[in-house]
A = this chain, B = another copy of it.
Amino acid sequence: MNDNSTETYVDRTYGGAGIGYGDRPGIIVVDFQTAFTEAQYALGGAPLIERAVGNTARLLEVARRANVPVASCYTAYSATGRDRPYWKVQAVIEDLVHGHPATQLDSRIHDPDYDVAFCKSGASIFFQTPLVSFFAKERVDTVIVTGCVTSGCVRASAVDSFQWGFRTVVPEDCVGDHHEGPHRDNLRDIGRRYCDITDADAVIDRLEEWRGRNRQ
């Protein structure tokens, strides 16, 4: 992308053949809580995140109709902060507290009657949450990554999805960041190593295909 490093990594055998889809998808939705999706908050309202919310909402509608498991998370800590790791982001410290409105999942992407929602304490949606147990029980083999922010919790979640043995797919217009530079840099890094980068429309087509297949 925006640097001249691609050739170096290709020479060193990075960025090989795509991973592809397996038989059972699961969707993760990282931190689409109002802290990031509403402009009134210090971390909220970036255009790339707004775009990601819209595309993820479309994708999730199809996923739920196809009975694909959906796991959402938000980040929150105790008021005392004793359980909060050493964040260097002041708004995380101030706003991500149990009971604060900034910890509510955005209603455009969350269906409380369908999705499984977790509170997480780390960067990754997989970190010390019941997510892997949920996906193992559902026999998920392919994880679709959505949410924010690309250069933080999305990156951490995509790496974990890979580490846990799943095929990992990141539709780039379903993940967002505060700035396009780090957004692209992180897609570049993970797309070389751990996952396939695609877009919302391609994933939606695939979900429709699965839905059709399972219906027969």
Given A132-B136, A132-B164, A151-B189; A88-B15 close (CB under 8 Å): yes
Residue from the list B13, B79, B121, B193 in contact with A130, Cβ < 8 A: B121
User: Does any Cβ of B come within 8 Å of A74's Cβ?
Assistant: no
- Give the residues in chain B near A8, CB-CB below 8 Å: 178-179
Instruction: List, sorted by A's number, 5 A–B pairs whose CB atoms are closer than 8 Å.
Output: A5-B179, A13-B91, A22-B139, A80-B116, A139-B141
The verdict on A181 contacting chain B, using a C-beta distance below 8 Å, is yes
A192 touches B89 (CB 8 A): yes
Interface residues on A, range: 35 or more
CB 8 Å contact bits of A91-122 with B (1 = contact, 0 = none) = 11000000000000000000001101101011
Residues B91 and A12 in contact, CB atoms below 8 Å apart: yes
Query: Which of A50-58, A155-163, A199-207 participates in binding chain B?
Result: A155-163
Of A4, A69, A141, A151, the most chain B CB neighbours within 10 A belong to A151
Please name the residue on chain B nearest to A14 by beta carbon: B89
